[in-house]
Amino acid sequence: MLRLAVATQEETFERMRDPLADRGIEVVPLQAKERAIGLTDASPDVPDVDVGFVFPTRLMEGGALDALLGVPWVNDREAVVTSRNKGGVVAALARAGIAVPETVMLSNPVSEAEVSAAVSGMAYPLVVKPNSATRGVGVTKVDDEDSLLGVVDYLDLVHDYRATGDKSYLIQEFLPDARDYRAMVVDGDCYGGVERRLPDPAREAGRWKHNVHRGAEAERVDLSPEYRRLAESVSETLGIDYLGVDLLVTESRVVVGETNARPTIDRAEKYDAGFYDALAGLIERTAERTER
């Protein structure tokens, strides 16, 4: 049986374990953080596996474990770094002719005048987000220039800390009333997706973030052929085989909001039939790589 190292022990691990076991793949836990990792002596808790599933989110620990394991990954370090760089994704998709929100990247330190000039052609409200955070962390909406510059002040304080690696952030147009879809692409094909919705009380209270980790609910939807092709083109453009693609849909536009190369696997009934067959095929094909 093929052995697959999975660096997350949350929902994804539990949900994929039995379906992949039915397809001849044993899912093995790989703890990538909050532990000691022996580097020079054989570490008994580094498993003997054939392939890894999604490079760990902590890149330094992931690099050490990658060297110890010596196996190929479904979504290797390059794939995870590519998707995590939100500005890079926006730029790559825009260059490929794929619709994205109007966006500008700021690299600190920049002056207030430079910030104001950068957004002079954009209409408020605007969204300010860290370039490389996930799960909606640090994302805020600003309604005017004073609010924007106040948020930028806080970012300046964070980025002034010498150990802060990523000193960039994005300012992006806000799409009011946009519906938020997460499409799941595996090995080039879209296997359905979900719509992320806030409960009515949250919306009525003025909340607008649709991240599931912030209380939104993910409901299965039948994605149109247009949305499926769009998600597949994003995967192809970025060169990432296993990808969550976030689509923002208004009455007049469909844009790609973000991507996630470490998407949480939802319950099987939220995907098309064949999802796990495709995932197992991708894992098997990755295990056959001979570059190492």
Residue 92 lies in a domain: no
Place of tokens 């976030």: 246
- 186 and 143, same structural domain? no
Q: Which of 158-172, 222-236, 261-275 has the highest mean pLDDT?
A: 222-236
- 68 and 118, same structural domain? no
- 257 and 187, same structural domain? yes
- pLDDT given at position 171: 97
- 166 and 122, same structural domain? yes
- pLDDT given at position 65: 95
Domain boundary (136, 158, 173) is at: 173
- 168 and 186, same structural domain? no
Grade residue 8 by pLDDT with cuts at 50, 70 and 90: confident
Strands 168-173 and 126-130 come out as antiparallel
pLDDT in tens, 198-233: 776 766 666 656 666 556 677 999 999 999 999 999
- pLDDT given at position 248: 96
Q: Do 246 and 260 form a contact (C-beta atoms < 8 A)?
A: yes
Query: What is the three-class DSSP state of 173?
Result: strand
Residue 284 lies in a domain: no
pLDDT in tens, 81-114: 999 999 999 999 999 999 999 999 999 989 999 9
| Residues whose CB falls within 8 Å of the CB of residue 73, separated by 6 or more in sequence, listed in order | 51, 52, 53, 54, 55, 66, 79, 286
- pLDDT given at position 10: 76
- Of 12 and 104, which is predicted with more confidence? 104
- pLDDT given at position 207: 63
In the predicted structure, residue 291 carries a pLDDT above the cut 50: no
- 114 and 51, same structural domain? no
Cα–Cα distance for residue pair 42/33, rounded to 1 Å: 18
- 48 and 10, same structural domain? yes
- 180 and 168, same structural domain? no
Residue 19 lies in a domain: yes
- 136 and 184, same structural domain? no
DSSP, res 212: G
- CATH number of residue 185's parent domain: 3.30.470.20
Residue 245 lies in a domain: yes
Number of structural domains in the chain: 3
- pLDDT given at position 42: 62
Average pLDDT for residues 279-283, to the nearest whole number?
98
Domain boundary (40, 75, 110) is at: 75
162-166: Cβ within 8 A, 24+ apart: 166/130, 166/131, 166/132
- pLDDT given at position 136: 55
- CATH number of residue 153's parent domain: 3.30.1490.20
- CATH number of residue 15's parent domain: 3.40.50.20
**What CA–CA distances, in Å, run from 205 to 161, 209, 227?**
35, 12, 30
Residue 229's domain comprises 176-261
Tell me the pLDDT of the chain averaged across its residues: 90
- 166 and 214, same structural domain? no
In the predicted structure, residue 292 carries a pLDDT above the cut 50: no
Residue 114 lies in a domain: yes
- 257 and 191, same structural domain? yes
Residue 116 lies in a domain: yes
Domain boundary (173, 188, 213) is at: 173
Residue 181 lies in a domain: yes
Least confident segment among 68-72, 188-192, 200-204: 200-204
Q: How large a percentage of the chain has pLDDT more than 90?
A: 72
pLDDT in tens, 16-66: 999 999 999 999 999 999 888 888 876 667 899 999 999 999 999 999 999
In the predicted structure, residue 272 carries a pLDDT above the cut 60: yes
- pLDDT given at position 221: 94
Q: Token pair for residue 196?
A: 């992320």
The overall pTM is greater than 0.85: yes
In the predicted structure, residue 147 carries a pLDDT above the cut 60: yes
- 253 and 207, same structural domain? yes
Residue 291 lies in a domain: no
Least confident segment among 71-80, 161-170, 246-255, 271-280: 161-170
Give me the phi and psi of 68, to 5 degrees please.
Answer: -70, -40
